[in-house]
Structure 1
Amino acid sequence: MTEHTFSTPTTAPAAGAPDAALFRPAPGAAPMWRMVTAQAAMELRVMLRHGEQFLLTMVIPVLLLVGFTLTEVLDVGEGSRVDALTPGVLALAVMSTSFTGLAIGTGFERRYGVLKRLGATPLSRFGLLAAKTLAVLGVQAIQMAVLCAVALGLGWSPSAGLPGTAAALALVLLATAAFASLALLMAGTLRAEATLAGANLVYVLMLGLGGVLFPTSSFPESLERAVSVLPITALASGLRSVLADGSVPGVGAFAVLAVWTAVGALLASRLFRWE
């Protein structure tokens, strides 16, 4: 009887053969920065494809800028009309994206269960807030480019130097954080219909009372003091100081926006509900 022996081949895997480790399961959540980046990219695509938000964030600010520059229906004071109107319209564009559009969109996502499904993922409340804020910043970059191009075509001549430009960017970033946190607070605590009505009401009120189309110095003294603590007023007056007057805004505008940012972010992180 012949005895057979078997031995394990010692030949190395052929070149180019797939490594078994590549197909080994690796359960676990992705790093937070990767989750936030992916969510922000998705939020940005949704915002750019939404027709109503495009009307709110792009069309209305452009129409206001062009309409009130070419007509004298509104008294904007002495000097160039486009120079007086552009800072306030830029502030309105920031609010329309980071507050009104974000609040309405998030409110209906919450109503239709989108946020509930996101809540079942490893994405935290902070991650969701950060992703939505990054998406808003992306839309605002497009807004600023479009509005500045239109304003320059109308004869706008900004007076900002390098320090003023840095101050304006800081104001926009602070205002975006403040408006986004307030939008998520509203959308995360109220019903979608209440959020829709409240966000549109705030938009209309701030258009008239927030120093958007004309400085609040034309208001009665008591009303001027009352609206000076609003984030839209701080942003509009700060941008007007930089772009129209050529001066760096005072500490007050930054302080107002910083307080609104801190309070809004704290309340949103604690009170925001996924459903």
Structure 2
Amino acid sequence: MNAARLTLFQMRYVNKAFWRNPASAFFTFAFPLMFLVIFTALLGEGEVHVGGRTIHQSTYYVAEMAAFAVITACFNNVAIGMTFQRDSGVLKRIDGTPLPSGVYLTARVLHALVVSLLLVGITVAFGHFFYSADIPTGATLWRFLVMLVVGACAFCALGFAITAVIPNADAAAPIVNAAILPLLFLSGVFIPIGDDAPDWITWTGDVFPVRHFAQGMQAAFLGNPFSWSDVLVVALWGVAGLLVALRFFSWEPRR
């Protein structure tokens, strides 16, 4: 069996394992919608200035929760899931089989990408029917899909990379959340960043990939100008995460 067929076969197995854990699958899909409802209920009546335009915050949060859904599926789930598999010995057993390690990791990325597409589709449909958010179409749709695919792969690579600093499974969720939650706030995913925000918040958001990914998603939903530099920054972070993962990723439990 060639590498492509092996990857698809392994992806099918990962997909089955994901859906056979209904509690994890349910909350993976419920979190973005839950936050979308909460934020729009609390802040959705106001307006926010984005890209020189004034839009309702309910529409703004549809785009942001789509970005949050991808980050959750690709960074949080991959990092925490791989750490638990590492500590339980699953990765060590897989590494001892003839299955190439690249095939296994690629299958995890492809599965995360499929879950991301489902999450974004559900979020977009929910936002369209309940908050009248626009759906990306035409050339905008293709740029949106490029941003989504690049972002999903990049955050998966970063998820693999952060496992290098997670000492054990019990520390996985706290470390992953500590790494991503501040960036979600500083990048305007949860709360819009105004022009009067402190310079250090703007600088921090510009350095890390979350804001650039969120801006790329916003461009499709809100009709803002699309910037390929956002795609480039996210891709560079993905390459950096991949290099760190290749150097420090461990298949065996930490001692």
Q: What interval of TM-score do these two structures reach, taking the shorter chain for normalisation? A: 0.7 to 0.9
Q: 1:147 to 1:261 in 2, by over 3 A?
A: same
Question: How far apart are residue 188 of structure 1 and its match?
Answer: 4.8
Calculate percent identity across the aligned residue pairs.
24
Structure number having the greater helix percentage: 2
CA contact (8 A) 2:161 2:249 kept: yes
User: Which digits, 9 at most, give the CA deviation of each residue in 1:57-86, with x for residues without a partner?
Assistant: 211210111222233378552532321111
Alignment of 1:1-275 (within 5 A): 30-72=1-43, 77=48, 78-158=54-134, 160-188=136-164, 190-191=166-167, 192-218=169-195, 219-244=197-222, 246-275=223-252
Q: CA RMSD in A?
A: 2.1
2:113 corresponds to which letter in structure 1? L
Question: How far apart are residue 242 of structure 1 and its match?
Answer: 2.3
User: Which digits, 9 at most, give the CA deviation of each residue in 1:74-111, with x for residues without a partner?
Assistant: 85525323211111100100000000011111100010
Q: 1:200 to 1:50 in 2, by over 3 A?
A: farther
Match of residue 51 from structure 2: none
Gaps of 5+ in 1: 1-29
Q: 1:83 to 1:169 in 2, by over 3 A?
A: same
Q: 1:221 to 1:83 in 2, by over 3 A?
A: same
CA contact (8 A) 1:56 1:101 kept: no
CA contact (8 A) 2:184 2:210 kept: no
How many angstroms apart in 2 are the aligned matches of 1:75 and 1:50? 39
1:53 corresponds to which letter in structure 2? S
CA contact (8 A) 2:209 2:237 kept: yes
1:138 corresponds to which letter in structure 2? V
How many angstroms apart in 2 are the aligned matches of 1:58 and 1:133? 17
CA contact (8 A) 1:56 1:96 kept: no
71-80 or 234-243: which moved more? 71-80
How many angstroms apart in 2 are the aligned matches of 1:220 and 1:51? 42
How many angstroms apart in 2 are the aligned matches of 1:255 and 1:92? 19
Gaps of 5+ in 2: 49-53
Runs of 4+ in 1 over 4 A off after TM superposition: 73-76
Q: 1:76 to 1:55 in 2, by over 3 A?
A: farther
CA contact (8 A) 1:84 1:214 kept: no
Structure showing greater radius of gyration is 1
How many angstroms apart in 2 are the aligned matches of 1:75 and 1:49? 41
CA contact (8 A) 2:46 2:56 kept: no
How many angstroms apart in 2 are the aligned matches of 1:91 and 1:60? 12
The TM-score, its normalising length taken from structure 2, stands at 0.87
126-135 or 154-163: which moved more? 154-163
SS of the residue corresponding to residue 79 of structure 1 reads: strand
How many angstroms apart in 2 are the aligned matches of 1:242 and 1:208? 21
CA contact (8 A) 1:167 1:248 kept: no
